[in-house]
Amino acid sequence: LSNLPVHLKKFWEYALQTSEGSVWRIEGDTNEILQKLETIYQEILLMPRDIDKKMVDWCLMASHKRVEDIVINQHRKAYDRAALVTAACTQALQVINPAEATKFFWEIQSKFPRHSSFQAELGRVNIVK
């Protein structure tokens, strides 16, 4: 996972930390648990397989909906996470379809032109020029 693009890596680290603190109740220190989770995900992600377009579309739709929920309901303390999921999806898409990556980012950015705090967070991730 250390070879992932910066925002995708940050998203995975956030997801791993969330997994570590959930209902799993794994014995051991936090760093050891996070390393175990990272190893499990790394093994899964390294398995060769075709990209499932339906799964990618579902992930993008779910991410888009999550960002909308955060921004429309003005959960300002979560704008950084909304920008992070936008950046992570964009970077993942850049690997399989760069044109779709740019389109995904611009759709989210242009959907919320009046939410300056969210726009500032998108600017901080500096993913698409």
Q: Which residue has the higher pLDDT, 36 or 67?
A: 67
State both tokens at 71: 């921004």
Q: Distance between CA 118 and CA 74 in Å, rounded? A: 9
What pLDDT digit, counting tens, does each position of 63-85 carry? 999 999 999 999 999 999 999 99
Environment class of 4 (CB within 10 Å of its CB; exposed 0-12, middle 13-18, buried 19+): middle
Q: Is the pLDDT of residue 119 over 70?
A: yes
For the four alpha carbons of 102, 108, 113 and 119, in that order, the dihedral sign comes to: negative
Per-residue model confidence (pLDDT) at position 30: 62
Q: Distance between CA 72 and CA 9 in Å, rounded? A: 26
Portion of the chain with pLDDT greater than 70, in percent:
77
- Interhelix angle 79-96/98-111, nearest 10 degrees: 160
